[in-house]
A and B are shown apart, each in its own frame.
Chain A
Amino acid sequence: MSIVNKSIRELNALFLQKELKPSELYDEIFEVTSNSEAVIHAHLKLFENENREALQNADKRFEDGNSLGLLDGIPLSIKDNINLKGSNTTCSSKMLENYVSPYDATVISNLKSQGPLFTGKTNLDEFAMGSSTENSAFGKTQNPWNPDCVPGGSSGGTAASVSVRSSIAGLGSDTGGSIRQPGAFCGVVGYKPTYGTVSRYGLIAFASSLDQIGPITRYVDDARILFEGIRGYDSKDATSIDHEFIELPSDNNATVGVIKELMEEGVSEDSKNEVNKVVDILKNKGYKVKEISLPMIKLAISIYYLIAPAECSANLARFDGVRYGLRVDGNTSYEMMENTRAEGFGPEVKRRILLGTYALSAGYYDAYYGKALQARKKMILEFKEAYESVDYLISPTTPTAAFKAGEKTSNPLEMYMSDLCTIPANLAGLPAISIPTGLSKEGMPLGVQVMSKALTDHSLLDFSELLENELAFHDLPFAWGS
């Protein structure tokens, strides 16, 4: 097995045994990247040479027996909507093309004390709005399993990077599935932690009540390690929670619910088959499995496409050509703002800002935004009731495997439907993970999503790791390093 395909724990063991140096791993990673990047375009910026001093320091720490833990010397990629001091943070938008971060996001400062190396900033749908990474102002990312297909989105760059092994693991952000959906499309693990457990400070905001930073990795254990590296209460984020985690059984004393509404019309046979495969495994292992109905899930996309655009229209008001980002001249301040926003934002961002502006405007607030908040609450109550009888809920991560580039770009609603299975966890703030389970008839990866109640993240990861071991899905995309 090539070094780049090893897990974080295996790599750490090699570092500790002095069989591998962080600098050797880093060079191996960039050997892969030099082959893959021209086709896949996972990154907007690569730090091939910027880390030489940091690598020497990492090598020395292991030589001297002073390592900083499991993440020390591990190459990580970072979605380009997370601030990394001194580097551009573009959000794949012309609006922020030349923006240089003056500070680190809390997840970055948490990681920096643990010694990982940042390999690059990864491509995304502009301001994380999209499901295919086709909405980037700086070119599309291709799926490593088939470059004609999209990698999913909005964290398509990180998912593709981890899938090809241009990085060992990476960070994405998930507002309606933007970690889990590209995880499923690229055959890697995508994990959205419980809302509030990971600070959003320094993540450029899209929809603040839904956004959550989380890991994209090859293995569930890598997601656990990265989650431990980034989580924790942060007074700089008003929604951060000073949390105590709750334990659930992860062995066969656990009860698992299959979400009825996500096994019906609108979900492909391929995706349903993956869930059925998991159900068979669980039953064979002695787990209790039952069907659970959550009728509000059918309305999740309607709720989401009022709340997320409403929050986005408020958050993106800050891009006005005054303090940072693009400025396009005008005769007055107001003209300058209108021209700047016309030039700086792409079509999907404009669509969502306008939708949100309308939903919040006088006379329509109660009918749209107010109603969506109430419906969201009703969905949260349904989840609470469901978790009284089951420990984990499973569903497909996506209604289909990765679709062809260009296939859904002209029909926004059809694109939005690709987040059907992932949006509910964001609306309810729940932890949710996609693990790769198998391939579609066309040979593209598929994933199954596992959700559990808030603050049961560790049990969710334990359960998912058991499932990962049973599934033994070891297929890889084309080996770009060889």
Chain B
Amino acid sequence: MSDDFNIQNIAKLASINLSEEEQSKLSNDLSVILEHVQALSDLSLDEVGEIFIHPLEKELLLDEDEVRVSLTHDEALQNAPEKNEGKFVVPPSLE
């Protein structure tokens, strides 16, 4: 694990508030896991060729951009924690 690993920065990037206790426990857990995955660093991997995200090496297909029957407005909003006049409501974005 890199020396500049900083659990607070990672938590900020992941948008998760962590208690001090969680920070300490997760720092420790991640360091054990990252040490384990270091096993990959010595591998010679120059010859593997093109990388695909699909494990069967298929190109990911995109749908045609056409209007189809989908969720109704009400269905899309039915699980919203807060809504108003057909819109999602969130707290202010600026302090």
A474 proximal to B (CB < 8 A) = no
Whether B36 contacts A429 by the Cβ 8 Å rule is no
Give, as a whole number of angstroms, the nearest-CB distance from A92 to chain B. Answer: 17
Give, as a whole number of angstroms, the nearest-CB distance from B31 to chain A. Answer: 11
B45's partner among A338, A378, A427 (CB-CB below 8 A) is A378
- By a CB distance below 8 angstroms, the chain A residues around B7 are 354
CA–CA, A320 and B53, complex, Å: 26
A34 proximal to B (CB < 8 A) = no
B67 proximal to A (CB < 8 A) = no
A209 proximal to B (CB < 8 A) = yes
B57-95 residues at the A interface, CB under 8 angstroms = 57-58, 60-63, 71, 75-76, 78-82, 88, 90-95
A351 proximal to B (CB < 8 A) = yes
A332 proximal to B (CB < 8 A) = yes
- By a CB distance below 8 angstroms, the chain A residues around B16 are 338, 341-342, 345, 350, 353-354
Give, as a whole number of angstroms, the nearest-CB distance from A116 to chain B. Answer: 25
- By a CB distance below 8 angstroms, the chain B residues around A380 are 55, 57
Whether B15 contacts A302 by the Cβ 8 Å rule is no
A259 proximal to B (CB < 8 A) = no
A236-294 residues at the B interface, CB under 8 angstroms = 238-241
B37's partner among A99, A209, A305 (CB-CB below 8 A) is A305
CA–CA, A412 and B28, complex, Å: 11
Interface residues on A, range: 35 or more
- By a CB distance below 8 angstroms, the chain B residues around A167 are none
Whether A209 contacts B40 by the Cβ 8 Å rule is no
Find the A residue at minimum CB distance from B80: A323
**27 CB-based A-B contacts, threshold 8 Å:** A102-B76, A103-B75, A194-B56, A196-B58, A235-B61, A235-B63, A299-B43, A301-B36, A302-B40, A306-B40, A325-B81, A326-B81, A333-B90, A334-B93, A336-B91, A337-B15, A341-B14, A342-B16, A342-B17, A351-B26, A354-B7, A372-B40, A373-B51, A374-B51, A378-B43, A412-B32, A428-B55
Residues of A within 8 A of B (CB): 98-100, 102-103, 194-196, 209-210, 235, 238-241, 299, 301-303, 305-306, 313, 317, 320-327, 329-339, 341-342, 345, 347, 350-351, 353-355, 357-358, 361, 364, 367-368, 371-378, 380-381, 412-413, 416, 426-429, 454
Known: A235-B63, A299-B39, A354-B26. 11 other contacts (CB 8 A): A103-B75, A306-B40, A323-B80, A332-B91, A332-B95, A333-B91, A335-B91, A354-B11, A374-B51, A378-B48, A426-B55
